[in-house]
Structure 1
Amino acid sequence: MKRSFTNLLVFYIFGILIFYFVNISSNIIIFLFLFSILYLSYNIIKSSLNQSVLLYLFLILGISISFLHANGNLEKSLGQEVYVKGVVEHLDKKTSEIEKYIISVKEVNGKSVPKEKSLLTIIGEKDLKLGSRVFFKATLKLPMENTNPGLFNYKLYLKTKGIYTLMSIDSNAIEKIDISNIPIRYKVKEKSILTIENVFKSYLNKENNSLITSIILGDSDYLDESNVELYRDMGLAHILAVSGLHIGIISSFLMFLISRIGIKRKTNIFITLIFIWSYGYIIGYPPSILRASILFSFLYLSKIIHKPYDSLNILSLAAIILLFINPYNLFSVGFQLSFIASGSIIVFTDRITYLLYPLKGKFIDTISSLLAVNIGVSPVQAYYFNKISILGFLANILIVPILSFSLILSFIMLGIEFIVPSLNSLLGIVLNGSLNLQFFILRLIGKFPINLIRVFSPEIITIVFIFIFFFIIFEMIDISSFSKGIEKTIVIYLLFLILINIVSIKENMEIHFIDVGQGDSIYIRSGKKDILIDTGGSIFKNHNIPEKIVLPYLEKIGVRKLDAIFISHFHEDHSQGLEILLDNFKIGNIFISHIPTDPYLDLLKDNRYVLLRKGDNITIDKNTNFKVLWPIDDMDYEDNINNKSMVGVLNYKDIKVLFTGDIEKEVEESLLEEVRGVDILKVGHHGSDTSSTLSFIEAISPKIGVISVGQKNMYNHPSGRVIGIFEENKTKVYRTDKNGLVKIVIVEDGYEVSPYLIDEKKKEVYLEDYLLHNYNYFLYNLLFFLSAYILIKKSPEEELINDL
């Protein structure tokens, strides 16, 4: 089987994806696994083992191994305070306030447990050594999943690291720390990390020290967030992770040095591989370095035994090994970028070089490789980061050589530190200059007015089609080999799909109640208009809700501008994100209900704002308007900003949506005669007991109520009394603490409510529903395709265009 590992990898990945996206019962998985074992055994006995059998087996293995890694053993003790004995495996984060360690749990309540990692947060300072045994009491918790679609999933991120549970304790809660008999591997690892940190701290300035330490240790936590963003915006995120580029530079330089002192080739390769794998252990074997280590091991082995080396096949084998170890590696951004970048170099480089003929040479080879990487990783970067750098290719050409030189010089400095440390003072000057130069170039490119293009997150199927498009461009898929009939069939089939999609397009309005915790932020798309009511925020400044949730969510769904921002009132949980939105989007008008104090007043002075009052009517488009019901000019609620909240009815055709900000009982009483028969209500003040009186809810009689509220918030919102009133009124209530983002799509004949979560869990897609849905979809597409083919068969080629 040509490139057998590549074919097996594709089916293994399909199996992982099937398990992740489709709910399959454990009984079905066990049955499929046992059946596959029997099927494999039968084919071995009959000597009829072939490609199709292996592909099926790897599909089932993808499902089965994902099932085995779906939950951790410690999850059995969730919510319980347990006595834990564990070993410190890795320092994850350290600040002046907290320390985070990855702990290998050995015992729970005195009983041995299967080896499993957990993330321990210590509030305060403890400075634990790697390999030390710690004893403490803690309550096991599950990490949070994303509650808005497309945003960072912390739970899935930790699963890629083999971590399923969290523990948090005060520094004085650790009862015992045992540092006797720490295994040598931990001592070597800790000593190596400290040496790397101290060498560069001694000879480099703060910014350069954090950059080179981050690159060598593969940990971006050493870098300031602004610098991480700088590299990401320039399409250089791959540089911050230890990758094949780094391993290639290091191993090539090491082999060059060793060869110059007369050591034989085989011994040279053996020493280099020991160095590569030891280096991987020190930095914790991230997927990128495991991939690179496996690839280079096979590469050097092939040179020893003089056998041909198929890079793509071995890359696929490396991916299979990593996904056998942990199938959730597939969802790691580092894993995806690492393998896609490497695969793109292998697949596209030669074809790009051919297209650039007659230009040739090492510079052209470098250009071809960088173009190949950019072709591969750009769709993935767009999906995760929602930015594409126009000048990223230029940045790669200029920065990669400088950083390659800097990386070699850094490893020389680490070696010299043990031989002639005084020489590092001179080398440090050179390294500082090199790193200063690359920062200067990066910032200079970043100042260009046209560089970053904001893009929405493409669907996975869109990314697949993008790659198919490139395969066709580079003639990896030869469409000229198709018969004329098939070509015309495909064209007509696509025309069918386009026409049906055009016919099925309906005018609608979308309302997204974004889960921003204890705050409000509601995105509205009506026709071509993009509107935001409130920006989210928190009284806790370090939560950065607008930056972490509102801004990335808007970017992911393709928002490039905001025609209007309505600020219901100037409390942090409603308005804190105004500044960051002004920095990142073109804003039309800012509508406010009262004049705020600083810092919001300074923001408004430099931007167009409109003070709204009762009776104002804002026309959004031909179908939509926003009628203001509150505030009035002679308000006397000077000490209660909640009651200065903007209240308005959004009218879309015959559907009414009432937005109430944080108004309380006094304002509700003033509005009793103003509005009747509301379809959808944004529940006032997060469901507080100070709002949503029985008389008000009975007067407006909403069919749907949406409460924007934080999980386990300190205010105990929403009030049980309020929930009871809605139940009596037969109002269906959705809550962002339990449903995550609540999306409502309004069309001519009604509306559909789509919560992202059901009872705090992602909506499950059951196997039978999934198969039925896709069975119908498959039948529709088959019908279109067959209709096109029949049309082709019945019409002579010269009459086909006339028939169409």
Structure 2
Amino acid sequence: MKKKEAAVRTAVAGGKKKRSKKLRVLALCAAGIFAAALVLVLLHFYYCPLNFLWTKFSNPDIPPRQAGELRVHFIDVGQGDAIVAELPDGKSMIVDAGGEAYASRSSLLRYVNALGIKKFDYLILSHPDEDHAGGMDDVLACYGAEKAFIPYIVSFGADSSYADFLDRLSREGCDTEISSTYDAVLSEQADAFYYFMILSPFESGVEGSYYDAANQDGATDTDVNNASAVVWLEYAGRSVLLTGDIGEEVEEKLVSDYEALGTSLFERERLTSWGERVTLAPALEGLDFLKVSHHGSASSSSSAFLRLTSPEAAFVSVGAGNSYGHPAQETVGRLNEIGARIYRTDESGSIVLTICSDGTYNIQTIGRN
């Protein structure tokens, strides 16, 4: 009898040990699962959205920037605009971020990863349309930005990609300004001097501001497009004009004002970080490179605007086989009339404009991402 009782006690004790061991294993498993989930959550919110983590390891082959070069990348994101500038002093800027479709956003992020950019110094959203703002939330999530220039559009749909971007921007605590005429950023290095300036629109409340038209009751898509930031970028005697989706109304206003005032229209004196006063004076009639407005729409790139600017090369960010018929044959014809070389992302994929410190340049097609 005593032997049976001892056997029972031994069996019970053994059972308790096994249960205890199982509980420890289960606890360790639960802790591991929790830790893995926590890592994934942190990655998602502080490093990169989970569905884009793979883009960290699958990137296009892009030659590295050489010292003293300014490189402007017109990235193939389908029907949309996404432009990244690698500035001569090693800083970086993104202007627009393509559409919200997964293919567009992943193409953009893979391209930026290939450039080795960890954080953008400058971010500019030209206007809130989905094909320009769609990937901005992801750009902020994956890279962040030191300073952002955004449009003054007070209501553009609570569920829009623009609203997601603004929400992310507020949470990131990024230094933010409303884009308006004469806003300018200068290089902090004398031996790699460049600057960019916003040429349009004027700030809200100034007579003729396109922001006011875009925010009025009954504002149209054209009103919002016309409120796009127009960005002038200059380096080594070469100039690049980025035009968002402005229409011929804005273009022709720029033409008439410039013909009346010349370079004094945008002339501003600024103090450099090394204490020298410099005069910034964007010269529209001396433009070298144009980002064609509104993906080559027939309602943009007016004859008067193209005759004044007469760019050597024109870049069209457009999706292959898009339903809008972009670029319009009329626009292509007007560009051909002024002798501009036309580069299209629907035909060549991503395109890189490189400007060297002596003013020489080259244009390279990267192809599809």
Does the pair score TM above 0.5?
yes
Matched, 1:535 2:89: no
Give the CA deviation at 1:445: 5.3
Structure number, greater radius of gyration: 1
**In 2, are the aligned partners of 1:677 and 1:700 still within 8 Å (CA)?**
yes
2: CA distance between counterparts of 1:444 and 1:648? 41
1:729 alignment partner in structure 2: 338
2:180 to 613, 627, 635: 613
Q: Residue 614 of structure 1 contacts residue 628 of structure 1 at CA under 8 Å; is this kept in 2?
A: yes
2 CA distance for matches of 1:570 and 1:556? 26
Counting aligned pairs with the same residue, the percent is 31
2:104 aligned with 1:545: yes
Residue in 2 that maps onto 1:581: 139
Contact 2:345/2:351, CA 8 A, preserved across alignment: yes
1:637 aligns with 2:213: yes
- Structure 2 residue aligned with 1:569: 127
Deviation at 1:438, TM superposition (A): 4.5
Paired residues of 2:60 and 2:114 also in contact (CA < 8 A):
no
Q: Which residue of 2 is the match for residue 27 of structure 1?
A: none
Match of 1:557 among 115, 139, 157: 115
1:592-607 equivalences under 5 Å are 592-597=150-155, 598=158, 599=163, 600-606=165-171, 607=173
Which one of the candidate residues 348, 364, 368 is aligned to 1:754? 364
Partner of 1:110: none
Q: Measured at CA, do residues 516 and 750 of structure 1 come closer, stay the same or move farther in structure 2, by a change above 3 Å?
A: same
- CA deviation profile, 1:586-616 (whole Å, cap 9, x unmatched): 3101102323434244344343210121122
What aligned pairs does 1:6-17 form with structure 2 within 5 A after superposition?
none
Q: Hey, what's the Cα distance between the residues in 2 that align with 1:731 and 1:513? A: 17
Alignment partners' CA distance in 1, 2:96 and 2:154:
14
For residues 755 and 544 of structure 1, the distance between their equivalents in structure 2, rounded to whole angstroms, comes to 20
Q: Distance in 1 between matches of 2:229 and 2:348?
A: 25
Structure 1 residues 646 and 459: CA distance shift in structure 2, 3 A:
closer
Q: Report the CA distance shift for 1:588/1:699 in structure 2 as closer, same or farther (over 3 A).
A: same
Q: Which amino acid aligns with 1:521?
A: A
How far did 1:637 drift? Answer: 2.8
- Which aligned pairs between 1:263-302 and structure 2 lie closer than 5 A? none
Q: Whose RCO is larger (CA < 8 A, sep 6+)?
A: 2
- Taking the aligned partners of 1:737 and 1:668, their CA distance within structure 2 comes to 25
- TM-superposed CA distance for 1:556, in Å, is 2.2
For residues 531 and 684 of structure 1, what CA distance do their matches in structure 2 show?
Answer: 19
In the TM superposition, residue 632 of structure 1 has moved relative to its aligned partner by 1.4
Shift of 1:653: 1.9
Distance change >3 Å, CA 439–CA 591, structure 1 → 2: same
Residue aligning to 1:193: none
Q: What is the letter of the counterpart of residue 198 of structure 2? A: V
Change in 2 beyond 3 A, CA 1:456/1:610: farther
Partners of 2:286 and 2:309 within 8 A in 1: yes
Deviation at 1:457, TM superposition (A): 7.4
Tell me: CA distance 1:511–1:505, structure 2 relative to 1, closer, same or farther (3 Å): closer
Instruction: Give 1:535 shift.
Output: 1.1
Aligned twin of 1:442: 36
Alignment of 1:652 onto 2:261: no
Distance verdict in 2 for CA 1:445–1:515, change over 3 Å? closer
- Render the CA deviation track for 1:282-329: whole Å, top value 9, x for unaligned: xxxxxxxxxxxxxxxxxxxxxxxxxxxxxxxxxxxxxxxxxxxxxxxx
Q: 2-side partners of 1:704 and 1:685: how far apart?
A: 16
* Runs of 4+ with >4 A deviation: 431-438, 444-460
- Residue type at the aligned position of 1:660: T
Structure 1: which 5+ residue stretches go unaligned? 1-430, 461-503, 763-804
- The correspondence for 1:669, drawn from 247, 252, 259, is 252
* TM-superposition CA deviations, 1:562-587 (whole Å, max 9, x none): 00110000111111222112212131
- Verify the 8 A CA contact 2:238 2:359 in the aligned structure 1: no
Distance 1:721 1:448 in 2: 50
Which residue pairs with 1:510 in the alignment? 71
Report the 3-state secondary structure (helix = DSSP H, G, I; strand = E; otherwise coil) of the residue aligned with 1:756: strand
Change (3 A) 1:458 1:642: closer
- What is the RMSD of the two structures over their aligned residues, measured on CA atoms? 3.3
Q: In structure 2, what is the Cα distance between the partners aligned to 1:595 and 1:630?
A: 14
1:521 is matched with which residue?
A: 82
Counting only pairs closer than 5 Å after superposition, residues 184-583 of structure 1 correspond to structure 2 as 438-444=32-38, 506-526=67-87, 527-538=89-100, 543=102, 545-546=104-105, 548-583=106-141
Classify 1:697/1:528 alpha carbon distance in 2 versus 1 (closer, same or farther; 3 Å).
Answer: same
Cα distance between partner residues in 1 of 2:151 and 2:354 = 27
In structure 2, relative to structure 1, the CA distance for the partners of 1:451 and 1:533 (3 Å cut) is: closer
Alpha-carbon distance in structure 1 between the residues aligned to 2:147 and 2:176: 6
Q: Structure 1 residues 529 and 433 mapped into 2: Cα distance closer, same or farther (>3 Å)?
A: same
Richer in helix (by share): 1
| 2:92 and 2:117 in contact (8 A); partners too | yes
Using the TM superposition, give the Cα deviation of residue 458 of structure 1 relative to its aligned residue in structure 2, in angstroms.
9.4
Alpha-carbon distance in 1 for matches of 2:361, 2:108: 24
Query: Which residue pairs with 2:15 in the alignment?
Result: none
Taking the TM superposition and a 5 Å limit, the aligned residue runs for 1:170-185 are: none
Q: Which stretch has the larger CA shift, 434-443 or 523-532?
A: 434-443
* Partners of 1:567 and 1:592 within 8 A in 2: yes
C-alpha distance in structure 1 between counterparts of 2:131 and 2:103, whole Å: 11
Change (3 A) 1:629 1:441: closer
Question: Residue 671 of structure 1: SS of its match in structure 2?
Answer: helix
Q: Alignment partner of 1:668: what SS?
A: helix
Asked whether 1:625 is paired with 2:195, we answer yes
Contact 1:456 1:557 in 2 (8 A): no
Code of the residue aligned with 1:439 in structure 2: it is: I
| Structure 1 residues 740-779: aligned runs within 5 Å | 740-747=349-356, 748-757=358-367
* Structure 2 partner of 1:739: 348
Question: Aligned pair in 2 of structure 1 residues 435, 570: CA closer, same or farther (>3 Å)?
Answer: same
Match of 2:271 in 1: none
1:213-238 deviation line (CA, Å, top 9, x unaligned): xxxxxxxxxxxxxxxxxxxxxxxxxx
Distance 1:621 1:596 in 2: 33
Greater strand content: 2
Residue type at the aligned position of 2:72: I
Cα offset, 1:506, TM superposition: 4.1
Q: Secondary structure at the match of 2:97?
A: coil
Q: Distance in 1 between matches of 2:97 and 2:66?
A: 30
Alpha-carbon separation, structure 1, partners of 2:42 and 2:332: 53
Asked whether the equivalents of residues 248 and 301 of structure 2 are also in contact (C-alpha less than 8 Å), the reply is yes
Deviation of 1:750 (Å): 1.2
* TM-score (structure 1 length as normaliser): 0.33
Indicate the SS of the match to 1:563. strand
Measure the CA separation in 2 of the matches of 1:609 and 1:706: 28
Helix, strand or coil at the partner of 1:715? coil
Asked whether the 8 Å contact 1:682–1:707 carries over to 2, the reply is yes
| Counterpart code for 1:630 | S
Amino acid at match of 2:107: I
Deviations 1:142-200 (A, max 9, x none): xxxxxxxxxxxxxxxxxxxxxxxxxxxxxxxxxxxxxxxxxxxxxxxxxxxxxxxxxxx
Closer, same or farther: CA 432–731 of 1 in aligned 2, 3 Å: farther
CA distance in 1, matches of 2:59, 2:317: 28
